[in-house]
Amino acid sequence: MTVLQAIILGIIQGLTEFLPISSSAHLVIVPYLLDWQIPLEEAFVFDVLVQLGTLAAVIIFFARDLWEIIRDWFRGIFHRSPFETFNARLGWYLILATIPAGLLGIMIKDQVEAVFNRPSLTAVLLYGTAILLLIAEKIGKRNRGMQSLRWVDSLWIGVFQTISIFPGISRSGSTISGGMIRNFDRPGATRFSFLMSIPVMLAAGLVGTLDLLEIPSATTFLPVMAVGFLTAGVVGYFCIRWLLRYISRRSFIPFVIYCAVFPTLVIAFSFLVDSPSRENREMASSPVQVSIDPALTWMSPLLELCARGQSGFDMVAQSDANPNLTDMDFEFNVNEVSNPQAQAIILGTEKILFIVNNSNPNNSINTEGLAAILEGKISIWQDGTPLQLYVYPPQSAMMASVSKHFQLQNGFSLTSLINFYPQDMLQKVREDPSGFGFIPANLINDSVKPVSLDPPGLTGPGFQIIVEFDHELSKTENAWLACIEKGLETN
């Protein structure tokens, strides 16, 4: 992503987050219209940061209101009169209004993410925003101020907020419409809508930040993203101030017209410019089944993250890889590969680490001693305590990698205990003070202790990560694999 792209998208986020025209829709549609090929991981980081920018804007704008609400809310709890003042009640109303969208978001997260991959469908959902605003303008009596807010009103508006989970349905548009349908005037409905956005955006920002921490290369493009963050925050602040003044004298009809005309132009553009092949149409209607070997569960977030950025690629993950492919136990398959002539692609390699129980005093081991342990020639540690070796099934890729790397003459110890997956190995060594085994480097954590190889700097063995397809790869699938490869390289 370039600085210019970050500024443009930051302006769009700042404007559309609070105007009732859907910010998420515009962040999907604008790069599509301009044919910006923004790498998936950069787009994800940008979306998280610009949303935090507009969150900062609304917090700063309503800082005094928020202080009074929080102060009275805690004061009401402390004095055992939680509903004594309007601000104390308003705090509870905001919590109540947030619950419906939070619950629904958890339940249909995958379906929502699939919509983000389809600009045309996102454009169609903008019509829903237009309809909601039009209904609110036509049937709302606008004879209630914000001071008349009750719990049933906040719950009603919270239900309307659930509709905005999908990109194209404006969050501010749906909640303002919900308030106006309950006969609130435009300023009151809009003000409550903006206050409602704070807990929702805080939660979304927290989830996004946690996902962001899983991207190893995120820090490399943070400086450019910071430009988008600042732009979205500044533009968002002035947009809030402008809209509150505007709706005190005018209706939402201009936004109704915009949400009807803009998606029409986008859909027309998609028909003129795009000519998807039959293969891509079938991919859009039939989700791609991706079977992931349990040994590669650490790769699942990367596979899903890369799938989000590919238009028409709806990935459905399964927990177990195809059992017919027993010669490669570190793989994931697409569409139930069972043909031995299927296309196999090596995406990268993963280093193997040797692990012991945290109580084990050993921090390193020389190669000769390691080979002797693996062959069963050594059954006790140097301090005289017993040694228990855990290994994988003989045909596994990890066993083959270790055996080849250390040129084992007699194979693995016949008395070692079989563990089918690295997660099993991790658990056994964690629970057994005498345990010794090996796992993929990505699975290492504080529950076990890795032992380094002696001499220092010696490179340990590794295994190949393989994907298999039962068909010729499409452009979308190639882009998906390229994203995965890049993620593995930076890990």
My answer on whether 255 and 282 are in the same domain is no
My answer on whether 314 and 257 are in the same domain is no
Last residue of a domain, one of 223, 244, 273: 273
Last residue of a domain, one of 273, 297, 314: 273
What DSSP character marks residue 443? Answer: G
Q: What is the pTM of this model?
A: 0.59
Question: How far apart, in whole angstroms, are the C-alpha atoms of residue 436 and residue 356?
Answer: 5
My answer on whether 333 and 217 are in the same domain is no
Tokens describing residue 170: 């404006």
> What is the radius of gyration, based on Cα positions, of the chain?
28
pLDDT the model gives residue 265: 93
**Those residues with Cβ within 8 angstroms of residue 182's Cβ, 6 or more apart along the chain or in another chain:** 140, 144, 153, 156, 157
* Dihedral sign for Cα atoms in the order 195, 196, 199, 200: negative
Mode of pairing for the β-strands spanning 343-356 and 462-469:
antiparallel
H or E, element range at 462: strand 462-469
My answer on whether 285 and 263 are in the same domain is no
DSSP 344-397: EEEEEEEEEEEEE-TT----EEEHHHHHHHHHTS--B-TTS-B-EEEE--TTSH
Question: How far apart, in whole angstroms, are the C-alpha atoms of residue 293 and residue 334?
Answer: 12
Number of domains in the chain: 2
DSSP 326-340: -S-SSEEEES----T
My answer on whether 262 and 170 are in the same domain is yes
The domain that holds 451 is classified in CATH as: 3.40.190.290
**Those residues with Cβ within 8 angstroms of residue 85's Cβ, 6 or more apart along the chain or in another chain:** 72, 76
pLDDT the model gives residue 326: 35
My answer on whether 283 and 203 are in the same domain is no
pLDDT the model gives residue 271: 80
Decide: residue 450, CB within 10 A, 0-12 exposed, 13-18 middle, 19+ buried: middle
Q: Are 408 and 371 in contact (CB under 8 A)?
A: yes
Tokens describing residue 336: 């139930």
3-state SS assignment for residue 325: coil
My answer on whether 119 and 132 are in the same domain is yes
My answer on whether 169 and 218 are in the same domain is yes
My answer on whether 481 and 390 are in the same domain is yes
pLDDT the model gives residue 209: 74
3-state SS assignment for residue 37: coil
3-state SS assignment for residue 468: strand
What DSSP character marks residue 190? Answer: H
Q: Does residue 450 have a cis peptide bond before it, meaning omega lies within 30 degrees of 0?
A: no
My answer on whether 125 and 198 are in the same domain is yes
Last residue of a domain, one of 273, 288, 321: 273
- Which domain range does residue 168 map to? 3-273
pLDDT the model gives residue 397: 72
Q: What is the pLDDT along the chain (491 residues), one digit of tens a residue?
A: 788 988 999 999 999 999 999 888 898 888 888 888 776 666 766 777 888 899 999 999 999 999 999 999 999 999 888 888 999 999 999 999 999 887 876 665 555 555 555 777 888 889 999 999 999 999 989 999 999 999 999 999 999 998 888 778 899 999 999 999 999 999 999 999 999 999 888 887 787 777 666 665 566 667 888 898 999 999 999 999 999 999 988 999 999 999 999 999 998 888 887 544 434 443 444 456 666 666 666 777 777 777 776 665 666 655 444 444 333 333 455 544 444 445 667 777 778 888 999 988 888 888 888 888 888 888 888 778 888 888 887 777 778 788 888 888 777 887 888 877 777 888 899 999 999 988 888 888 888 999 888 776 566 787 777 777 666 666 777 777 888 777 777 65
My answer on whether 205 and 325 are in the same domain is no
My answer on whether 317 and 198 are in the same domain is no
The one-letter amino acid at 52: L
pLDDT the model gives residue 269: 87
